[in-house]
Amino acid sequence: MSELGIILLILCIGQIHSTYGQECPSTQELQISLRQAQKLLASHEASYLQSLRSLKRKISQLQNSTARMPSRPGDASCPKLDTPVNGRKLGKVLLPGHEVHFLCDPGYELVGSETRQCKDTLTWSGQQAVCKERNECASSPCANGGSCTDEVNGFTCVCARGWAGPTCQSPTPTFFATTTNISASTSGAAAATTFPLTTLLPFVQPSKCSQVQGTTHCSCEAGYTISGRDTSICTDIDECEVFHNGPAGRLCVHACVNTPGGYRCSCPAGYQVSRDGRSCRDIDECATRQNNCTRDRLCVNTYGGFQCVKVECPRTRNVTYAKTSPTRCERNPCPVDNKACSQAPVSISYHHMSVVSNLSAPRVLFRVSALRMIGDALRFAVLESRGRRHFSIQRSDRQTGELLLLSPIQGPDTLEVEVEMSELEKRELIGRYITKITFFISQYEF
């Protein structure tokens, strides 16, 4: 209505000057004007409705196109990768630029890609990692005609007659003694000497003697020998002593226990004897519930044991962190102009690695990679810590730093290493990211 009023007023003012001098228009003139105004209004109404319809259509189009748009890039991630059977997977972040690493259990070898990266196309680089049982027999480890049986993390040799030891490297511990004319009365017939067995120790056995053409041959069962002059008695061979260090290495990786006619290997607490009978395999207390970690702690399996670790975000006066995963803390937004806060690490990740003592070096132990770069450069550094001298950082590509073990570490020990990744933009620091890696080093080299 107010629009109509304005139109009328304009018409009146227009008429005043052009046609009627000081006078306002006559009734007739006014009716014409009103009809014109009505027409004008109708045309305005039509065009108004038309633009409303077009606006409505545009909004609907926008709605349709936003519905078709992929979700925020921050939500886009690569499909989850399976942990290989008999292996491990390192790295949980499935976002572009991130890497996942694969390791196989002892006795298995990796087929496929050891490292796969989530590409911008949300697919993984490389091939699926599979842990294939290593064929330890492939190198023909059994000497002197022994036959090899492949086992998980080892092999066993079935030795040909006359040979013994883990790789059939030693002449058989069966000894023949030949004496002549012991008992002429039993000449020609094979005769076993009998002893009252109850009086014998398990490490002593009667020998088996036979006489052939007046000559007596005495022999012992495998694992026994005739020692000294008494050919009627076989004594146990202490394999732990005799074969302690054969050409193929130690008889037992840890400890050897002599048994009547044989031996067995034993392992320290936290290990079990492997199927090859001579090495020790770690017991995963975290997987088998043999641990007593409370629910607020993470169980970390170590060689020979386990650790219950608690990840706590740092608490300082001006900087606060939020725990975004069981092993990650992220800085809360900083108040404007709080320099102490904005220079504090943006995130702190906690990792725990179990390694054996005296691990050979140099070798890469850990990789730190940038998720997505905002700046134009990254800088990697190992921060001051105990054990710092054992480690160094090297670049493997623009966005990845590798933690290198420089020299073997003797266990048992626990070392913490902090890797700092700084992001720079035109040489200005724009963010620091800390990765804290705790190494649990075992007492033994297994």
Ligand X SMILES: *[C@@H]1O[C@H](CO)[C@@H](O)[C@H](O)[C@H]1NC(C)=O
Report whether 122 contacts 78 (CB < 8 A).
yes
Q: Does 180 bind ligand X (CB under 6 A)?
A: yes
Angle at 441 between CA 435 and CA 444, to 5 degrees: 160
Contact pick of 19, 51, 77, 318 for ligand X (by CB under 6 A): 318
Is residue 178 at the binding interface for ligand X, with CB under 6 A as the rule?
no
Produce one character per residue of 13-50: b if its CB has 16 or more CB atoms within 10 Å, e if not: eebeeeeeeeeebeeebeeebeeebeeeeeeeeeeeee
CA distance 301 to 307: 6
Task: Examine residue 179 and tell whether it contacts ligand X (CB under 6 A).
Answer: no
Q: Which amino acid is at 196?
A: P
31 versus 61: smaller Cβ distance to ligand X: 61
Q: Which is nearer to ligand X, 57 or 372 (CB)?
A: 57
Could you give the C-alpha distances from 433 to 13, 284, 338, 339, in angstroms and in order?
A: 74, 31, 18, 16
Nearer to ligand X, 297 or 379 (CB): 297
What are the phi and psi torsion angles at 53 (to 5°)?
-60, -45
β-strand 298-302 against 305-309: which pairing, if any?
antiparallel
Q: Cβ neighbours of residue 285 under 8 Å, at least 6 residues apart? A: 270, 291, 299, 301, 305, 306
- The verdict on 338 binding ligand X (CB under 6 A) reads yes
If binding is defined by CB under 6 A, does position 381 make contact with ligand X? Answer: no
Q: Tell me if 316 contacts ligand X by CB under 6 A.
A: no
Residue 168 structure tokens: 């059939």
In the bound state with ligand X, the residue whose beta carbon lies nearer, of 184 and 189, is 184
| Number of alpha carbons in the 13 Å side-chain half-sphere of residue 111 | 8
Among 64, 66, 140, 194, binds ligand X (CB under 6 A): 64
What's the burial of 366, exposed, middle or buried (CB within 10 Å: 0-12/13-18/19+)? buried
- Kind plus residue range of the DSSP H or E element containing 347: strand 347-355
User: Is 184 a residue that touches ligand X (CB under 6 A)?
Assistant: yes
Q: For ligand X, which residue of 47, 61, 135, 332 counts as binding (CB under 6 A)? A: 61
Q: Whole-angstrom distance between the N-terminal and C-terminal Cα of the chain?
A: 93
Q: Which of 19, 43, 178, 292 binds ligand X (CB under 6 A)?
A: 292
* Per-residue contact string for residues 17-36; x = within reach of ligand X by CB under 6 A: --------------------
343 contacts ligand X (rule: CB under 6 A): no
**Residue nearest to ligand X according to CB distances in the complex:** 340
Does residue number 55 form part of the binding site for ligand X (CB under 6 A)? Answer: no
How is the beta sheet containing 400-405 ordered, strand by strand?
363-369, 400-405, 391-397
In the complex with ligand X, which residue's Cβ is closer, 173 or 270?
270
Answer for which of 106, 126, 408, 412 binds ligand X (CB under 6 A) is 408
Residue 97 interacting with ligand X (CB under 6 A): no
- Candidate ranges 59-67, 150-158, 342-350, 391-399; the one touching ligand X (CB under 6 A): 59-67
Of 181, 183, 272, 392, the one binding ligand X (CB under 6 A) is 181
Of 11-19, 158-166, 179-187, 260-268: span binding ligand X (CB under 6 A): 179-187
* Footprint on this chain of ligand X (rule: CB under 6 A): 57, 60-61, 64, 180-181, 184, 214, 292, 294, 308, 317-318, 338, 340, 358, 360, 408, 410
